[in-house]
């Protein structure tokens, strides 16, 4: 499953929100030296209860719009719902 996520580093807390069909992720980390990317992977892993090795950033390593591959049996709606309710 590939998701497009818009990331907002340097936010007050780490959470996901769905805004007009755009999945957004607010992260505490700064966008320096991949810290925000690492936090994004850890947050997805923790929220979905899957290993970090099942998550990879396919594109957007240096931009706010990320394409993230998540290896799971869940469908997109289930993933988004879980992230927004628990993350």
Distance CA 37, CA 45 (A): 12
**What pTM, to 2 d.p., does this model score?**
0.93
Contact 40, 12 (CB under 8 A): no
Domain count, the chain: 1
Q: What is the pLDDT of residue 86?
A: 78
* Per-residue tens of pLDDT for the chain, all 87 residues: 999 999 999 998 999 999 988 999 999 999 999 999 999 999 999 999 999 999 999 999 999 999 999 999 999 999 999 999 876
Q: What is the pLDDT of residue 87?
A: 62
The full DSSP string for 25-77 is: EE-SS-SSTTHHHHHHHHHHHHHHT--GGGEEEEE-TTSSEEEEEE--SS-HH
What's the CATH code of the domain at 35? 3.30.1200.10
Q: What is the pLDDT of residue 75?
A: 94
Domain that holds residue 38: 2-86
């Amino acid at each position: 499953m590939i998701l497009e996520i818009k990331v907002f580093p340097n936010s007050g807390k780490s959470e996901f929100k769905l805004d007009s069909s755009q999945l957004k992720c607010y992260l505490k980390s700064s966008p320096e030296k991949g810290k925000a990317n690492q936090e994004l992977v850890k947050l997805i892993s923790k929220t979905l209860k899957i290993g970090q090795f099942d998550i990879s950033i396919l594109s957007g390593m240096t931009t706010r719009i990320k394409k993230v591959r998540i290896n799971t049996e869940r469908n997109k709606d289930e993933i988004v719902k879980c992230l927004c309710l628990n993350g």
